[in-house]
A and B are shown apart, each in its own frame.
Chain A
Amino acid sequence: MHIPDAAISPMTAAVAGGAMAPVWWLSARRLRGAMGSRQVSLLALGAAFCFVVMMFNVPAIGGTTVHPIGGVLAAILLGPWAAAIAVTVALLIQALFFADGGVLALGANAFAMAFAMPFTGYLVYRAMGSRSPAGSARRAFAAGIGAYVGLNAAALTVAVLLGVQPWLHHEPDGRALYFPFDLRVTVPAIMLPHLLIAGPIEAIVTVAAVRAARRIGVRIYGEDEAQAAGGRRELAWVGLGAALALTPLGLLASGDAWGEWSAEDLTARAGYLPPALGKTERSGWKGFNLMPDYFGDRGPAFYVLAGLMGAALTAGIGAGLARAVGAGGPGREEPPAPTTSGAGSGGDGELPDWMAKPGEDDPPSSKAREARRSVPALLRTDFLSRSIEELARRSMEALALEEWSRREGWLQRRDPRSKVLAALGIVIVAGLSRSAMALGVLGCAVLVAAVVSHVPLKVVAARVAPALPLLAVAVAAPATLSLTHPGRAVIVLWSHPTVAVTTSGLWYAAVLLARASVAVGAVALLVLTTRWSDLLGGLRGLWAPGLLTMVLALTYRYLAVLLQVAAEVLLARRSRTVGRVSHASNRQFVGAAFAGLFGRAMSLGGEVHAAMVARGWTGTAAALTRHPMSASDWSLLVAAAAVGTVASAL
């Protein structure tokens, strides 16, 4: 349920981000006050943990997948405030590295998954389970219900954010500028899989993980101080947060009317009659509520089904294209160099003079190539294996990204601050632009930058491709239909009433995909040509608070360790399993394995924190002073601004 950039308007993204800002601020403040610097490493763990959980895809209706989020689990184990930051960081990493969810849309995604989900889920958990003893069945039940409600609150938030787009942003002729479907479609389309499939899974995972966590002695948030006087006040805070989180629900409740508006009503409210609506009325239905008999169902379901028909087709093509483009991957022409070689790798043994004694030998300075780690070959028979495999592949890819950032190139030499600003500028202009020409100019700019930075276009394409099928399925394919974009029919799918793929619909879908491709490409290029530490430094040098960059840095660090552990856990299990494993036993294993991961991560986190304190860390991030931006760094900004201006003018 990650909202991609360009699916919602920058204004919506800004509003959602603005709504998240106080949550982030309060969380950071509260955590700093409550637990000091220790919380930072716990947060990083929680974020890495959520990130891992989100990679477990489970098949849902019509060839799509849903995944658990772990937000309520994090809230139960770490507390909702810590969970809010942890999930946000997981989302940020996904947006930056995995093209999963938009960068601009981060605030919106965070509002759903890092705020609505943990706070709602935690409130339910506390309300149901706080009076029963720790470890009781009732507590476990409460955790499961909390997880179910939390996940669906997040799904509902996403459905609402998407569904209000056509009302907020549309062309004078009524066609949506951004997400073309309104709440009546988005709510059932998004909620159904989450209510039926993702919710129960989230509940099972959460209950299993919480129980297992208790068994292995992980301290569960709030249980020690359950009797303390502060407990009640805390609940009040949680209640306030949850009430805020539930406001989208309120909108929907009053919005029963939304689903029942007649065309006249809509015309009165919006001041115009959307052409799609008018057309469907002419062809015999009233609004979206009337459905032909042969579908056997009411309005929204028809929409969903129609959407799915086009979606399945486009998804097949999109996946095929993505596979074809991504098959080669970044150049793998050479075998890895050995990590250590020859004499002298152990040092000359002479202490430097500041350490008491001078030394003179020269260091061996040849740059060794990154050793590539091969992803363990796993069986491909069940969703668990596929998820782990995907997880390992993606993480290794992310770690191998530095391959390009270490090479000589134009962008590699630019100051990370200027790169961050330039990429952000391109994302914003692309998000606002509707002209194919403008998007072409922006896309060319990105491609030229890639070429002069010696990043093969294939590599950039491989980073952009994974984002497209999702967008194609969720947005572009349904938009090609005559229901949203009336026009000359290209392919008639249904003749009574008429449902067809139209030229204007195809054009709209193409522009939408181009917009997303340019945005994702710009971010991908930024990440490809900037070393992780420099990127963090750049963010820090711009506006990001120190706490955020420190959490990001730690999360990245833990991620590698955690993923390795996860892959090992699965391999260990495989090596002891004969034959096929039932889905039920897989689910049980996932829960237990997550809890084990969490326990291990917690103890590792404690040690990492001690290692930082032992070396003088006091809770603030320090950075070596950076050089001022050079003329060529400014030139990058000027060039980006020029391209942006030209594109906006088109």
Chain B
Amino acid sequence: MSLRDALAEGSGSAPPRGSRGGTLFRLVSAGYSYPDGHEALRDVSLAILQGESVVVLGANGCGKSTLLWVLAGLRFVTTGSVEAFGEPLTEAALRDEGAARMFRQRVGLVFQNADAQLFSPTVRDELVFGPLHLGLPPAEIHRRVEDVARLLGLGRVLDRSPYHLSGGEKRRAAIGAVLTSNPQVLLLDEPSAGLDPRSRHQIVELLIRLRRAGKTIVTSTHDLEIAEAIGSRAVVLSEDHVVAADRPIAAVLDDLELLRSVNLVHDHWHRHGDAAHAHDHAHVGEHEHDHHSDA
């Protein structure tokens, strides 16, 4: 069975909400080196299950972005193997246009650099780009654009150039551009980097909702607060590009020794308490919400 068949088989109906189940991605001893020999990932083995919210933790330059690019099928491992939806994820497999289309529909990547990701003349064109190239009918595209604009509060900037947006708006536009394709797997590269507390909070809220809607989410970050709020499991990359830990998020955040060894915390760092507490703390002065039990 090819990647295309595997994708076609699974595309019939959305998985029941919140279901945890099949393995969507499996990396076995995966490594990636840039053409100039610089190593970005070494011997990474991990699985990402349907409906999970995985946080990839690590200091700058540890390979978080590369890992997401590999999962998104934009870079291809130089050693080891990657499977997506039960089939090998290789450059050759994605050369098949049908397979590529289905893969791109199911896996969305929000880039770290919103300036690079937003290339269209207006935010609306940006939101249209994904579904348009995936071949959706125009009426459906318009509906999705309206819905996503409302969801992310982009209504008033829809017809403006991404160039004119504020940092928070750019990030939301970048996320919206991916959401209009309604991917099953959402990959986010440092979604909170450079955002003010309010915008950061909005992103956390959104990710929690998406996860409850059954999306599989992989977020790379070095922001332990949002990791705690959005993740169920943490994959920690060390500075020599290997997986240092792969455990439930709480267990990772309790392991001060581990966090210190991968340079995610410094000596004066302290935790705000358990996950729910940290989440509450972040919400002081904001509005009511109902997902304590979920955190």
Binding site for B on A (CB under 8 A): 217, 339-340, 344-352, 354-357, 359, 361-368, 370-371, 399, 402, 406, 531-533, 536, 553-554, 556-557, 560-561, 604, 607-608, 610-618, 622-625
Contact = CB atoms under 8 A, between A and B. Distances in A.
A356 to B, nearest CB: 3
15 contacts: A346-B168, A346-B172, A346-B199, A350-B209, A357-B209, A368-B157, A370-B160, A402-B161, A532-B121, A607-B113, A608-B119, A611-B111, A615-B129, A615-B130, A617-B133
A554 B36 CA distance: 28
A355 B179 contact: yes
A357 B213 contact: yes
Nearest to A625: B138
A607 B111 contact: yes
Interface of B: 14, 17, 36, 69, 72-74, 97, 100-101, 104-105, 107-109, 111, 113, 115-117, 119-122, 125, 128-130, 132-134, 138, 141, 143-144, 146-157, 159-161, 163-166, 168-169, 172, 177-179, 181-182, 198-199, 202, 205-206, 209-210, 213-215
A217 to B, nearest CB: 8
Given A355-B179, A614-B109, A615-B108, A348 B116 contact: no
Given A354-B147, A356-B213, A611-B111, A347 B154 contact: yes
Contacts of B130: 615-616
A406 B155 contact: no
Contacts of A615: 104, 108, 129-130, 133, 177-178, 181
Contact of A618 (B133, B141, B147): B133
Contact of A616 (B101, B116, B182, B215): B101
A610 B74 contact: yes
B168 A340 contact: yes
Contacts, number: 174
B161 A399 contact: yes
Residue with the highest number of chain B CB atoms closer than 10 Å, among A346, A351, A370: A346
Contacts of B149: 363
Per CB-CB distance, the 3 closest pairs between chain A and chain B, nearest first, are A356-B213, A363-B155, A352-B147
A416 B106 CA distance: 35
B128 A624 contact: yes
Given A607-B111, A618-B100, A345 B153 contact: yes
In this complex, which of A349, A364, A536, A614 has the most chain B Cβ atoms within 10 angstroms of its Cβ? A614
Contacts of A344: 153
B151 A339 contact: no
B117 A399 contact: no
Nearest to A44: B119
Nearest to B103: A616
B116 A607 contact: yes
A604 B101 CA distance: 24
Contacts of B109: 611, 614
Contacts of B152: 346-347
A14 B121 CA distance: 31
Given A349-B151, A349-B205, A355 B105 contact: no
A348 B120 CA distance: 25
B122 A533 contact: yes
A625 B139 CA distance: 10
B17 A356 contact: yes
B108 A614 contact: yes
A363 B74 contact: no
A642 B69 CA distance: 57
B213 A351 contact: yes
Q: Give the interface centre of B74, B147, B154 by most chain A CB atoms within 10 Å.
A: B147
Contacts of A354: 143-144, 147, 182
A5 B205 CA distance: 56
B214 to A, nearest CB: 6
Given A364-B155, A370-B160, A614-B72, A352 B150 contact: yes
